Amino acid sequence: MAKQKASSKPVVGLVQMSCAPDPAKNLKKAISRIGEAARRGATIVCLQELFKSQYFCQTEDTGLFALAEPIPGETTKALAKVARQHKVVLVSSLFERRAAGVYHNTAVIFDQDGSVVGKYRKMHIPDDPLYYEKFYFTPGDLGFKVHQTSRGNCGVLVCWDQWFPEAARLTALQGAQLLFYPTAIGWLPGEKTEMNLAQHSAWETAQRAHAIANGVFVVAVNRVGIEGQLQFWGQSFVADPFGRILAKASAEAEETLLVECDLSLIEQTRQNWPFLRDRRIDAYAPLTQRLIEP
Average pLDDT over residues 103-128: 98
Predicted confidence (pLDDT) at residue 3 exceeds the cutoff of 50: no
- Indicate which residue of 19, 29, 46, 49 is catalytic: 49
Q: What is the pLDDT averaged over residues 90-104?
A: 98
pLDDT at 4 (0 to 100)? 44
| pTM assigned to the model | 0.95
Confidence check: pLDDT of 47 > 80: yes
Establish whether 159 is a catalytic residue: yes
Domain 11-285 has CATH 3.40.50.720: no
Q: Per-residue pLDDT averaged across 249-273, rounded?
A: 97
Residue 73, pLDDT score: 97
**Minimum mean pLDDT among 1-10, 213-222, 230-239, 283-292: which range?**
1-10
Among the listed residues 29, 52, 119, 122, the single catalytic one is 122
Kindly report, residue by residue over 64-88, the tens digit of the pLDDT: 999 999 999 999 999 999 999 999 9
Mean per-residue pLDDT of the chain: 96
Q: How sure is the predictor about 1, in pLDDT bands with cuts at 50, 70 and 90?
A: very low
Average pLDDT for 182-209: 94
Banded pLDDT at 279 (limits 50, 70, 90): very high
Task: Select which of 159, 204, 227, 261 is catalytic.
Answer: 159
What is the spatial distance between Cα 168 and Cα 208, in angstroms, rounded to a whole number? Answer: 11
Is residue 122 part of the annotated active site? The answer reads yes
**Is 204 designated active site?**
no
- The rounded radius of gyration (Å) of the Cα atoms in the chain is 18
